[in-house]
Chains A and B, each alone.
Chain A
Amino acid sequence: MTAKTVFDDVETLKKELIRCMKCGNCMSVCPVYGVEQKESSVARGKIALGEAILDDKIDIDDETLVKLIFNCLVCKSCMLACPSGVRYDRIILGLRAAIAKKKGLPFIKKVLFGLLKNPELFDKGMKAFATMQGLFLKHEEQKVRTPRGLLRQFGKRFDEEFLLPEISKESFRDTVQELEDVEDAQATAIFFTGCSVNYFYPEVGNDLIYVLKKNKVRVITPRKQNCCGMPVMVHGDIDTARELAKKNIDIFEKVNAGYIITVCGSCGSALKHEYPIILEGDTTYEEKAKKWADNVYDISTFLLKIIKFEPPKGEIHLKVTYHDSCHLKKSMTVFNEPRQLLKMIPGITLIEMKKPDMCCGSGGSYHLTHPDTALKIAQSKAEDIKQTQADVVCTGCPACMMQLFESIHRWDNSCKVLHTVNLLAQSYKSEEKENV
């Protein structure tokens, strides 16, 4: 049984809303406000709308209000700039949950989120799409797809320049052993892959396993793991998010491992921060969620702080710039460790871009629902990256990778997009070659 949380009863938001003193500091960091320059774009404006709902000044299903409440990347930048510690994530997700409850989910979301709840069906769907992707997506170069007219019907975002990494015909979890064992293991960890790695970036998953095994870590990749729930949570579908969270926790409970490793800022953030919040008061799951939350680590933290790390010695001569994934930095507070890792790789020069922690404009599905604003955010990110003249932009989140890859091509840059583990693996591999 679940107690009344901000996701179940909008009235409980009152104690969160009154913490906001309307100072407006959030304006200085909000990517959406930076583009749109109006009060409703920023956290303070949305908090005011929350207050207006509770004061009966406006209906929660007011058409404009709904649009405004969904016009947020949930990047959490504002929470870092907030002097009074307003828990904006609870506010915005609580409001969206209340809206979803009152209005019901739009048809398309209902279908998609329903699929997510059923991992087998979802998997079949993704694979079906992978075989049919030629119908919607035009093959450009290897592993890059750009949309044909058919997909363009779905919105402005899918213009001729839109690029997408190819969906793997075989999902990552289909290709790996559930247990990747090593001799003299120093730890055993669950790999929570996330959907993007599973379907779009299997090489990130492969490199992660390779890097962990190099460091004598036994890796368990439960095949049946579900979506982390973040994509449905941000759309207000709290019931599905809870169901996914519980299913995932059940899976973790069955595995005998001390840690969960993530390679995606959003998945990590869901497991570490959102699960304990959405399962608050749940007699069966609250404690379990908290226990696992304490043991979730981004790969970079895990390598540097939890285990004895063997730095790679193979040289790679590359200029690399690092983009902070919002959820990795602002939710998981991981920003030093990836840079430390990159600096440890011989031959890599780390060049910081202007605002490395400015959002890339992805926001999961925000770039699809709000293409105009997202493109402007993406453009300034692409320009900041271009200025560094780096060969590689590296990040710790596959959702950012997709967006960066897209915007880098759109604004004429040839720089490669890689995950931190890709570079680590590359260095270990070149070390092996050197030794041969």
Chain B
Amino acid sequence: MIDDGFIKKCKDIFGPENVLTDKAELITYSYDATPGIPSEIPGVVVFPQNTKQIQELISFARQTKTPIYPRGAGTCLSGGPVPLSKGVVISFQRMNKIIEIDADNLTATVQPGVIISDLNSAVSKYGLIYPPDPGSMATATVGGSVAENSGGLRGLKYGVTKHYIMGMEVVLPTGEIFRYGGKTVKNVTAYDFTSLFVGSEGTLGIITEIICKLIPAPKYYKSMIAFFDRIEDAGKTVTDIIRAHVIPATLEIMDKVTIQTVENYAKVGLPVDAEALLLIEVDGMGKDSVDWEAEKCLEIIKENNGKAKVAQTAQERDSIWTARRAALPALAQVKPATILEDATVPRTKIVEMLAAISNISKKYNIMIGTFGHAGDGNLHPTLLIDPLNKDELERVNKAIDEIFEVALSFGGTLSGEHGIGVAKLKYLKNEIGKSGIKTMRRIKQALDPDNILNPAKLVPVED
């Protein structure tokens, strides 16, 4: 598939310094951050600098029927960039310029390889933010997060990546260059292509330029931490806060297993006998409204038998978020490996979901710590495993099957923010049914008739 002719063509298009062909180099493009999925070594890796090069490559790949795998920083949690059928990996690591920041129109136009937190530092000079904040934002690229429709901690109030994409340039699998959208807030011309391409996981087109929406950075914030003796009380606090029409920027939950592990590891002073804790931050442009929202949260916590502590200084705020950031590292210390899932349920079902996960943990004798974005129902049950233990791995797989089963039974979804990729492909039918899969195949076929773009991802090839 990738022969000397193909490699020569790549070197002609991208320049030899932007083409990797040595096996050792290629091995480092055989994976992403997803545990337990197959890996494959690509035939060649290229680093484009501009759209024209990508167009040339696609035209050539189409003739030779070579699979193409676009890749950002490779922090994907569903297998998106893994080159399952070898082929060519297009790495956007070096196509990383911020083309324009338009503070008056509240937009930033970027190349796909820009790192999310770099974009945020650049726009912070104008008092603006780009809100999507996935856990990997210090390394993940805008392009990758657009392709995966990444979420983050602020999802509850600020939404996810798809809410911040106003237009794009895309190279289609047929080799055509296509632009849609722009800097206008309103735009109903043609189909809503943002909904099509954001979250398409590299299966419909190669994103080469992105117009992002920016918003003013909130001026005031208040953070608090609340402990509960009963998980039901924590769950009811979440729904009561929303019912009181307070939408916190972040509303995170940690279960008992996670609390104990974090305390054991980071010694931040969490009460280890608590059944659950909530981490809440409200923010806004006006001091009064932020204070009001914080008061309201405190009232509700009290009504639900919780004990709350409000951060009075920047340092106290930091220590609250240190506890949250320590969740994954702490869990990761317990066993050699972790599997981080992102099954998501309506927020009114969080308590049932936590109980179900706890039962699954007992049933299969797998340690599971659950934390996550309670406010938007996006939980991260984290399975702690030893990959060298075969028997345990089997139980882990069964436990994961069952987690998805209950999430769907509660009216939830397979993935809140990690995507389907290859990791969750086998469950897809359970959520969207046969007709859903047929629809996806028709869309894929219409845009990528030769099936060269990230094949066998997101859209199941076989039933």
Partner of B25, one of A25, A64, A85: A64
Q: Which residues of A contact B329 (CB under 8 A)?
A: 83-85
**Known contacts A23-B75, A24-B75, A25-B136; A84 and B333 CB within 8 A of each other:** yes
Are the CB atoms of B23 and A64 closer together than 8 Å?
A: yes
Q: Which residues of A contact B388 (CB under 8 A)?
A: 14, 18
Q: Which residues of B contact A65 (CB under 8 A)?
A: 23-24
**Known contacts A38-B91, A39-B74, A83-B329; A22 and B32 CB within 8 A of each other:** yes
- Judged by a CB distance under 8 angstroms, whether A62 is at the interface is yes
CB distance from B37 to the nearest CB of A (A): 11
**Known contacts A45-B28, A49-B27, A58-B27; A23 and B336 CB within 8 A of each other:** no
Would you list which residues of chain A between 1 and 35 have a CB under 8 Å from chain B?
14-15, 18-19, 21-25, 27-28
Bound form: Cα–Cα A84–B24 in Å = 25
Bound form: Cα–Cα A15–B329 in Å = 17
CB distance from A292 to the nearest CB of B (A): 28
**Known contacts A84-B333, A84-B338, A85-B333; A24 and B27 CB within 8 A of each other:** no
Are the CB atoms of A40 and B25 closer together than 8 Å?
A: yes
CB distance from B137 to the nearest CB of A (A): 9
Are the CB atoms of A83 and B136 closer together than 8 Å?
A: no
Digitize B51-74: 1 where CB-to-A-CB distance is under 8 Å, 0 elsewhere.
000000000000000000000011
Are the CB atoms of B75 and A68 closer together than 8 Å?
A: no
CB distance from B73 to the nearest CB of A (A): 6
Bound form: Cα–Cα A307–B337 in Å = 43
Are the CB atoms of A18 and B24 closer together than 8 Å?
A: no
Are the CB atoms of A38 and B23 closer together than 8 Å?
A: no
**Known contacts A24-B139, A57-B27; A15 and B33 CB within 8 A of each other:** no
Would you list which residues of chain B between 318 and 372 have a CB under 8 Å from chain A?
328-329, 332-333, 336-338
- Judged by a CB distance under 8 angstroms, whether B460 is at the interface is no
Bound form: Cα–Cα A72–B169 in Å = 36
Would you list which residues of chain B between 371 and 400 have a CB under 8 Å from chain A?
387-388
Digitize B263-303: 1 where CB-to-A-CB distance is under 8 Å, 0 elsewhere.
00000000000000000000000000000000000000000
Tell me the nearest residue of chain A to B96, going by C-beta: A37
Partner of B337, one of A18, A25, A49: A18
Are the CB atoms of B23 and A58 closer together than 8 Å?
A: yes
Partner of B139, one of A25, A48, A67: A25
Partner of A27, one of B31, B96, B139: B139
Tell me the nearest residue of chain A to B18, going by C-beta: A38
**Most A CB atoms within 10 A — which of B47, B329, B387?**
B329
Q: Which residues of A contact B183 (CB under 8 A)?
A: none
Partner of A37, one of B24, B33, B94, B333: B94
Bound form: Cα–Cα A57–B387 in Å = 19
**Known contacts A27-B73, A85-B329, A85-B332; A21 and B23 CB within 8 A of each other:** no
Q: Which residues of B contact A15 (CB under 8 A)?
A: 336
- Judged by a CB distance under 8 angstroms, whether B35 is at the interface is yes
Are the CB atoms of B139 and A28 closer together than 8 Å?
A: yes
**Most B CB atoms within 10 A — which of A27, A44, A62?**
A27
CB distance from B144 to the nearest CB of A (A): 10
**Most A CB atoms within 10 A — which of B28, B35, B41, B74?**
B28
Digitize B123-138: 1 where CB-to-A-CB distance is under 8 Å, 0 elsewhere.
0000000000000101
Tell me the nearest residue of chain A to B21, going by C-beta: A64
- Judged by a CB distance under 8 angstroms, whether B29 is at the interface is yes
Tell me the nearest residue of chain B to A38, going by C-beta: B93
Are the CB atoms of A48 and B35 closer together than 8 Å?
A: no
Are the CB atoms of A68 and B24 closer together than 8 Å?
A: yes
Are the CB atoms of A24 and B73 closer together than 8 Å?
A: yes
Tell me the nearest residue of chain B to A30, going by C-beta: B139
Are the CB atoms of A64 and B24 closer together than 8 Å?
A: yes
Bound form: Cα–Cα A21–B25 in Å = 19
- Judged by a CB distance under 8 angstroms, whether B22 is at the interface is yes
Tell me the nearest residue of chain A to B72, going by C-beta: A24
- Judged by a CB distance under 8 angstroms, whether B239 is at the interface is no
Partner of B138, one of A19, A28, A57: A28
Are the CB atoms of A49 and B23 closer together than 8 Å?
A: no
Are the CB atoms of A21 and B33 closer together than 8 Å?
A: yes
State how many residues of chain B have any CB contact under 8 Å with chain A: 38
Digitize B27-53: 1 where CB-to-A-CB distance is under 8 Å, 0 elsewhere.
111111111000001000001000000
Are the CB atoms of B35 and A37 closer together than 8 Å?
A: no
- Judged by a CB distance under 8 angstroms, whether A179 is at the interface is no
Are the CB atoms of B22 and A64 closer together than 8 Å?
A: yes
Are the CB atoms of A40 and B28 closer together than 8 Å?
A: yes
**Known contacts A39-B74, A85-B333; A24 and B35 CB within 8 A of each other:** no
Tell me the nearest residue of chain B to A23, going by C-beta: B33
Bound form: Cα–Cα A68–B25 in Å = 8
Would you list which residues of chain A between 46 and 60 have a CB under 8 Å from chain B?
48-49, 52, 57-58
Bound form: Cα–Cα A28–B24 in Å = 22
**Known contacts A38-B20, A40-B25, A83-B328; A24 and B136 CB within 8 A of each other:** yes
Q: Which residues of B contact A37 (CB under 8 A)?
A: 47, 93-94, 96
Partner of A24, one of B20, B23, B74, B338: B74
Bound form: Cα–Cα A290–B35 in Å = 36
Bound form: Cα–Cα A23–B35 in Å = 10
Q: Which residues of A contact B30 (CB under 8 A)?
A: 48
CB distance from B230 to the nearest CB of A (A): 30
Are the CB atoms of B24 and A40 closer together than 8 Å?
A: yes
Q: Which residues of A contact B22 (CB under 8 A)?
A: 64
Tell me the nearest residue of chain B to A26, going by C-beta: B139
Bound form: Cα–Cα A84–B34 in Å = 15
Bound form: Cα–Cα A65–B26 in Å = 11
Q: Which residues of A contact B29 (CB under 8 A)?
A: 39
**Known contacts A38-B93, A64-B24; A18 and B136 CB within 8 A of each other:** no
Are the CB atoms of A22 and B33 closer together than 8 Å?
A: yes
Q: Which residues of A contact B337 (CB under 8 A)?
A: 18-19, 21
Bound form: Cα–Cα A27–B115 in Å = 11
Partner of B31, one of A22, A40, A62: A22
Q: Which residues of B contact A45 (CB under 8 A)?
A: 28
**Known contacts A24-B33, A83-B329, A84-B338; A39 and B28 CB within 8 A of each other:** yes
CB distance from B34 to the nearest CB of A (A): 8
Tell me the nearest residue of chain A to B76, going by C-beta: A24
Q: Which residues of B contact A44 (CB under 8 A)?
A: 28
CB distance from A385 to the nearest CB of B (A): 20
Q: Which residues of A contact B336 (CB under 8 A)?
A: 15, 18-19
Q: Which residues of B contact A49 (CB under 8 A)?
A: 24, 27-28
Would you list which residues of chain A between 64 and 88 have a CB under 8 Å from chain B?
64-65, 67-68, 83-85
Bound form: Cα–Cα A45–B29 in Å = 8
Bound form: Cα–Cα A18–B338 in Å = 10
Tell me the nearest residue of chain A to B75, going by C-beta: A24
Bound form: Cα–Cα A23–B134 in Å = 12
Bound form: Cα–Cα A23–B31 in Å = 11
CB distance from A351 to the nearest CB of B (A): 20
Would you list which residues of chain A between 301 and 321 have a CB under 8 Å from chain B?
none
Are the CB atoms of A18 and B387 closer together than 8 Å?
A: yes
Tell me the nearest residue of chain A to B25, going by C-beta: A40
Chain B interface residues toward A at CB < 8 A: 20, 22-25, 27-35, 41, 47, 73-75, 91, 93-94, 96, 115, 117, 136, 138-140, 328-329, 332-333, 336-338, 387-388
The 7 closest A-B pairs by CB, nearest first: A45-B28, A84-B332, A28-B138, A65-B24, A83-B329, A39-B28, A64-B22
12 further A-B pairs in the complex, CB-CB below 8 A; given A39-B91, A48-B27: A21-B33, A22-B33, A22-B35, A24-B140, A25-B136, A37-B96, A38-B47, A39-B93, A49-B24, A64-B22, A64-B25, A68-B24
Sample 5 A-B pairs with CB under 8 A, ordered by A number.
Answer: A18-B388, A21-B338, A22-B35, A23-B136, A38-B47
